[in-house]
Structure 1
Amino acid sequence: MIRAIFTVIASMTLVVVAQASEGYAIPLKHVSVDLSDKAALYRGALTFQAQCATCHTAKYMRYGRVASDLHLSDDQAKALLPPKLKLGDEMVSFMPADYAAAVFGVEPPDLSLIARVRGSDWLYTYLTSFYADPTKRWGVNNAIFPDVNMPDVFAAQQGVLEPVYTDVKMPDGSTEKRLSGLKPPVIPGSMPHEEFNSMVKDLVAYMVYMSEPAKMQRMAYGPYVLGFILIFTILMFFLKKEYWRDIKKPQS
């Protein structure tokens, strides 16, 4: 019975993974997120404010919550806080919504819960997979989000990746060029490859934290709860033995 249950769970997991990867020109890149690394989360928060908050809101978060959860000093909190805003304010976009809609053709989405919707691997792959496409409005496209109406905000740091196309034979006998991979940019960015990936990883970690800030508290309480359950189980075991010690088994 137990084996059957595990088989069903494993099958469902494989289906979810297959669905998550289906349709992408490149496979999703895995990124490990350590929510206990508060220094990395703070670096990610600074990157978010510098690169993402220009157009996107995070209205379900407040600056004070970030400062409290990450144990920021007064100077660190001030560096995170935009001018004229207070710690109790929501994380709003620097760009008015109507102006953003006019520029991009659609209002940029709120990013408070994007990590819960898309997942950390998707976010990491998306942010590192813009490539040159002169046919698009901003001169770039994205390998896992085709035709996204967003500029490559990290082009200066990463450089613009070059696409690799493969000829795919269609049912009618014709061939069609399809994106099959990405290669390093012709003009390198200002950051070395490892440094850039580390910056994006910190940003993704911050967005994972932002999508569920209470998770950090649950992780902190978890060992104590498990310890209590273990001690309680041991006590109940010995209490059960004490209650049943003088009870004789019925004779057959």
Structure 2
Amino acid sequence: MKKLLSTLAQTGFASITLALALFAGPVHADDEFPLDRAPDNMESLASLQHGAQLFVNYCLNCHSASLMRYSRLEDLGISQKEIEANLLFTSDKVGSTMTIAMRPDDAKSWLGAAPPDLSVEARARGRDWLYTYLRSFYRDSTRPTGWNNMVYPNVGMPNVLWQLQGQRTAKFTDITDPENGEKIHRFDGFQQVAPGTVSRVDYDSDVADLVAYLSWMAEPEQKTREQVGVWVLLFLGLLTFFAWRLNAAYWKDIK
């Protein structure tokens, strides 16, 4: 009996520790280029709906999301008729997965590498990385696509949102490291050379909506999981308390 009660208590504390570790989420190492904090728009249906529209219009031409079905967008308050009218390609159906017509071999020959599936990209990269990445493209005539990126140098992907953001160049300054005398190519900011169709503030808002949708798509049940997780932690805490008190009551008369 003593061994059983001790095991229950230890299991309860271990379960709480494990659950807290799981809910803490992935830890990302610091990148060379500093990441901006992505706005948290996960609770806004309007932001998620706008992000879904941006994803279909700008990302789904080259990137697939094979783990997501169009019908799941109904969870965001988008009706089936709205999905069919605004978010479906001609050959797709509401129950279809978000795949693309471009073959991987063609993508590799055109872009140098097949674009990754974006179903769980937000979980792999993190929201801050995606938010900064989509706002860090600049014109680079040395690249095959004419574009480069500060977060992902020499990326094969062009800036698909350039019409919204406009065109920018990156300013660099060559300096000498006083400690070792090495030449450093220091980034000194972006310079706007052509305006986009939206302002800088509106573009950042659009990117935040897109990143929010990518985060939702990576785990549509995230909110439910977190809510259930709270109840699980409360249950484990209560179970641990009763196990501790029962153990104390069992051994109180034994010396």
* Range of TM-score over shorter length: 0.7 to 0.9
- CA distance in 2 between counterparts of 1:44 and 1:190 reads 17
**What's the % identity of the aligned pairs?**
36
Tell me the matched-pair count: 228
TM-score where L is the length of structure 1: 0.77
* Change over 3 Å in CA distance of 1:55–1:172 after alignment to 2: same
Which amino acid counterpart does residue 196 of structure 1 have in structure 2?
Y
Specify the SS of the correspondent of 1:101: helix
Deviations 1:108-132 (A, max 9, x none): 1111111111100000100000012
- CA distance in 1 between counterparts of 2:157 and 2:224 reads 34
* Change over 3 Å in CA distance of 1:43–1:119 after alignment to 2: same
Query: Which of 74, 77, 80 in structure 1 is aligned with 2:83?
Result: 77
Which amino acid counterpart does residue 101 of structure 1 have in structure 2?
K
- Match of 2:142? 135
- Match of 1:57? 64
Deviations 1:62-121 (A, max 9, x none): 111232x21322333222222221122111024333322221021111111111111000
Gaps of 5+ in 1: 1-12
TM-score where L is the length of structure 2: 0.76
Deviations 1:181-233 (A, max 9, x none): 42241211110111111111010011111112221322454566677778x67
- Match of 1:168? 175
- CA distance in 2 between counterparts of 1:104 and 1:76 reads 33
Asked if the contact 2:71/2:95 (under 8 Å) is kept, the reply is yes
Which amino acid counterpart does residue 216 of structure 1 have in structure 2?
K
Asked if the contact 1:53/1:94 (under 8 Å) is kept, the reply is no
Summarize the alignment of residues 2-81 of structure 1 with structure 2, pairs less than 5 Å apart: 19-21=29-31, 23-24=32-33, 27-67=34-74, 69-78=75-84, 79-81=86-88
Specify the SS of the correspondent of 1:168: strand
Q: Greater relative contact order (Cα 8 A, min sep 6): structure 1 or 2?
A: 2
Specify the SS of the correspondent of 1:144: coil
| 1:150 maps to 2:157 | yes
| 1:198 maps to 2:202 | no
Summarize the alignment of residues 189-228 of structure 1 with structure 2, pairs less than 5 Å apart: 189-221=196-228
Specify the SS of the correspondent of 2:77: coil
Which amino acid counterpart does residue 152 of structure 1 have in structure 2?
N
Which amino acid counterpart does residue 20 of structure 1 have in structure 2?
D
Gaps of 5+ in 2: 1-23
Asked if the contact 2:174/2:186 (under 8 Å) is kept, the reply is no
* Change over 3 Å in CA distance of 1:228–1:70 after alignment to 2: farther
- Match of 2:132? 125
Asked if the contact 2:130/2:211 (under 8 Å) is kept, the reply is yes
